[in-house]
Amino acid sequence: MKELQPYYLKYKNFILPTVFIMLSFFILFRVIMPQITSIASANQDIESKSTDVQTLQSSLSALSNADESAINDDLDTVVKALPVSKNITQIFEALSSAAGASSVDLKEYSLKVGGIYGRAEKVAQTSVKGVPSVDVEVKVGGASPRQIVDFTKQIQQRLPLSEVTQINSNGNNASLIISFFYKPLDLTLVSRQDNVTGVNQNDQTVINQLKDWDK
């Protein structure tokens, strides 16, 4: 120890400054800099959680203020307009009703129903991309061209929603290709969502139009 004593005496005034410098570096690199990163991520976290809370609050408010019978009524209408599966009975009802309203004779119709089980190879092509449809070939008779035009109008103003993709009329007979839309419902995807908005004015306008078309 004695041999270290001269060094101690010589450098003893630098011991504390060295300790201070080392502690300063420690605080800078082990406390301040990590905390700055942590503050940035905490701020982001707070921002996203605040948005979540706001969304959840508005969802809760929409749910607690919702009229259950109106919801059921609206749900019936939208599901009738866009069924979750290929609903042949509904399609037939719409065709019969449109034929009656336009005074045409519904002679025959054939549906390309497609798959019953398993993944579909190809979705039928309509002008509305991404929405599957069932193509129905309808033959009508005893009708003037004007009545056939009226029939196409009538069928497009009925539920389920459809699109007339081809009209081929000759004399009093006509053949039409009509695509009836449907869309499977992914309940797991729906239940994962938190953002529930009530039916707003624009939605209600569309629903009211659909109700008018529900003949």
Partner 1 sequence: MKEDINLVIKTNTDKKIKDKVFLGTLVVFLILFALGAIVLIYSITLTSKASALANNANDLRSKISSYSDQKTKLLTISERLVTIRKIINTRKKIDEEVSGIVSYVPDNLAIDSIYADDTKVTMGFTSPQLSDFDTLLESKIPLMTKDKSLNISRVAIGSFSQKSTGYLVLIDFIFRTAPVRK
CB 81 within 8 Å of CB 177: no
Least distance to partner 1, CB of residue 60, Å: 6
Give me the half-sphere count of Cα atoms (radius 13 Å) on the Cβ side of residue 69: 0
Q: Is position 35 an interface residue for partner 1 (rule: CB under 8 A)?
A: yes
C-alpha distance from residue 66 to each of 51, 59, 213 (Å)? 22, 10, 25
Min separation Cβ 66 and partner 1, Å: 6
User: Which two structure tokens, joined as six digits, stand for 26?
Assistant: 């420690």
Site string for partner 1, 60-99 (x = CB under 8 A): x-xxx-x-x--xx-xx--xx-xx-----------------
Quick count: other Cβ atoms within 10 Å of Cβ 26? 10
Longest Cα–Cα distance of the chain, Å, equals 125
Nearest to 174 by CA among 209, 203, 149: 149
Give the nearer residue to partner 1 in terms of CB position, either 8 or 20. 20
Under the criterion CB under 8 A, does residue 149 sit at the interface with partner 1? yes
Q: Which stretch binds partner 1 (CB under 8 A): 2-10, 86-94, 115-123, 147-155?
A: 147-155
Considering beta carbons, is residue 111 or 177 the nearer one to partner 1?
177
Quick one: 5 or 64, whose CB is closer to partner 1? 64
> How many whole angstroms separate alpha carbon 210 and alpha carbon 77?
7
**Spatial distance between the Cα atoms of 138 and 127, rounded to a whole number of angstroms:** 19
Binding mask 166-205 for partner 1 (x = CB under 8 A): xxxxxx--x------x-x-x-x--xx-xx-xxxx---x--
* Pick 96 or 125: Cβ nearer partner 1: 125
138: nearest Cα among 173, 168, 108, 182 = 108
Q: Is 126 in the site for partner 1 (CB under 8 A)?
A: yes
Binding of partner 1 by 113 (CB under 8 A): no
Q: What is the CA radius of gyration of the chain?
A: 35
Q: Which of 90, 124, 141, 163 binds partner 1 (CB under 8 A)?
A: 163
Nearer to partner 1, 2 or 129 (CB): 129
* CB atoms closer than 10 angstroms to residue 197: 10
Check residue 123 for interaction with partner 1 (CB under 8 A). no
